[in-house]
Amino acid sequence: MPATDQGDPAEHFAIRTITETAARGYRTILSLKFPYDRASFPEPGSPELAAELARLDRVLPAVLGKVDIVTIGNEPFIESLPAERDARLNAFYETVARHVIDYRREHCGADCRTTLYMGALNRLDLPDRHTPAAERWMTFVRETPEIEGVDIHPHIPTPEDTQPFLDYILPRMRADQTFLVTEFSLVWYWKQHLEDTVSPDFAQRYGFAPGTKAWQVIKAAIDEPFGQRKWNDFLTSSPWFTSQAGFLQDQLRLYRSTGRLAVATYGFKQDDLMVTDFGPTKTPWLLNSVYAPYTVKPRGTGMSAPGFWLDAFKALQRG
Per-residue pLDDT at 44: 87
Distance CA 41, CA 175 (A): 32
DSSP 40: P
In the predicted model, what is the mean pLDDT of residues 136-147?
A: 98
Per-residue pLDDT at 49: 97
Distance CA 184, CA 181 (A): 7
In this structure, are residues 63 and 30 in contact, taking their beta carbons and an 8 Å threshold?
yes
What are the b/e assignments for 143-182, b being 16+ CB within 10 Å?
ebeebbbbbbbbbbbebebbebbbebbbebbeeebbbbbb
Is pLDDT above 90 for 238?
yes
Per-residue pLDDT at 319: 67
Per-residue pLDDT at 317: 87
In this structure, are residues 232 and 292 in contact, taking their beta carbons and an 8 Å threshold?
no
Is pLDDT above 80 for 302?
no
How many distinct helices (H) and strands (E) make up the chain? Answer: 13, 6
Going by C-alpha positions, the residue among 221, 219, 215, 223 that lies closest to residue 280 is 215
The H or E element containing residue 31 is strand 29-32
Cα angle value 74/263/64 (rounded, 5°): 60
pLDDT per position as a tens digit, 51-60: 999 999 999 9
Distances (CA, A) of 8 to 12, 27, 36, 69, 156: 7, 23, 22, 21, 37
Q: What is the mean pLDDT of the chain?
A: 96
pLDDT per position as a tens digit, 61-73: 999 999 999 999 9
Q: Give 263's pLDDT tier (boundaries 50, 70, 90).
A: very high
Per domain, the residue ranges of the chain are: 2-184, 188-244+269-319
Distance CA 152, CA 169 (A): 9
Torsions phi, psi for 162 (to 5 deg): -75, -35
In the predicted model, what is the mean pLDDT of residues 162-178?
A: 98
Per-residue pLDDT at 299: 83
Torsions phi, psi for 193 (to 5 deg): -110, 10
In the predicted model, what is the mean pLDDT of residues 222-251?
A: 97
Distances (CA, A) of 20 to 76, 116, 271: 27, 20, 21
> Cis peptide leading into 97, omega within 30 of 0?
no
Fold of the CATH domain 2-184: TIM Barrel (3.20.20)
Q: Give 4's pLDDT tier (boundaries 50, 70, 90).
A: confident
Per-residue pLDDT at 181: 98
In the predicted model, what is the mean pLDDT of residues 175-199?
A: 98
In the predicted model, what is the mean pLDDT of residues 114-123?
A: 98
Residue 45: left (phi > 0), alpha (psi -120 to 50), or beta?
left
Per-residue pLDDT at 207: 97
Strand partners, 142: none
Specify the range with the lowest mean pLDDT, choosing from 60-69, 230-239, 270-279, 302-311.
Answer: 302-311
Radius of gyration of the chain (CA): 21
Per-residue pLDDT at 318: 85
DSSP 291: B
Beta strand pairing status for 115-122 and 69-72? parallel
Distance CA 23, CA 36 (A): 32
Give this prediction's pTM: 0.95
